[in-house]
Amino acid sequence: MSINVALAGAGAFGIKHLDAIRQIPGVKVISLVSRELGKTLEVASKYGIDHVSVDLADSLAIKEVDAVILCTPTQIHAAQAIACMEAGKHVQVEIPLADKLADAQAVVALHKSTGLVAMCGHTRRFNPSHQWLHKRIAAGAFNIQQMDVQTYFFRRTNMNALGQPRSWTDHLLWHHAAHTVDLFAWQTGSPIVKANAIQGPLHPALGIAMDMSIQLQAASGAICTLSLSFNNEGPLGTFFRYIGDTGTYIARYDDLFNGKEEKIDVSGVDVSMNGIELQDREFFAAIREGREPNASVAQVLPCYEVLHGLEQQLN
């Protein structure tokens, strides 16, 4: 079964998905949507995509489009996911599913009546590093006592991952904390029962907190401490320290190290060492097999319930 895809968002993460899809047999991007026509045409030419538009509705009107990947601004994720499903298209929404709980709930409610595949890009579930640990946990060989997570960027102006100006505002809680909140619950295999947050001063222009600290506890008793910053002038990215009953592990995106900084070979965990590619492979496999994907919108909804509670505390 071949799958034709429309991809919305030709920015940093859209390009990551385009590169990933090149590695997946039987999948072709036939439509590219983004706000800036000139840039979109340039990216489409590079990746051999025939149809280009600045309006998602144009892509949804193409009968041959089977599925849509949304790499668009956070604030329109939920509305666009709903539009895709209403047009009869499978949809994968880049993280976060929404920046309001009610919007995330609306996506899940509609999905239940469609029979379509609807998935959210919670990439940490797919990185080989975290998959390796998940398999050890499932086998009973490792139990999490604590996770210590640092999510650090240097973004005192509104820039994307490529250092280009953004037309929308990113958010530490609804985007970057979502990765860890979901991963912690997934890895412990139990719901989050306690969550606390504090934040630093709001940015005078962007109106968002540039620093944040979050504490979580799972029903299993495991705890998680998450530090987030857009002010960090140092190593950038997200670093996960797993402290467990049989060892300590440090995950840096797709790579994994033990507590002594010795690298662990995780190349045999899956068919690729690229978490985005593995995420996309799961999306297309679920479509072909007619099943619920890992990180379906229903599976990740509890994450957004926790984020909502944290936002209420901060407000």
pLDDT digits (tens, 9 = 90+) for 135-188: 999 999 999 999 999 999 887 766 655 566 656 567 899 999 999 999 999 999
Question: For 11-30, what is the mean pLDDT?
Answer: 97
pLDDT at residue 309 greater than cutoff 80: yes
- CATH class of the region 3-122+275-295: alpha beta
* Domain residue spans of the chain: 3-122+275-295, 127-269
The fold for domain 127-269 equals: Dihydrodipicolinate Reductase; domain 2 (3.30.360)
pTM for the predicted model, two decimal places: 0.95
Domains 3-122+275-295 and 127-269 share a fold: no
Bond before 96 cis per omega within 30 degrees: yes
pLDDT digits (tens, 9 = 90+) for 62-88: 999 999 999 999 999 999 999 999 999
pLDDT digits (tens, 9 = 90+) for 84-100: 999 999 999 999 999 99
pLDDT at 235 (0 to 100): 80
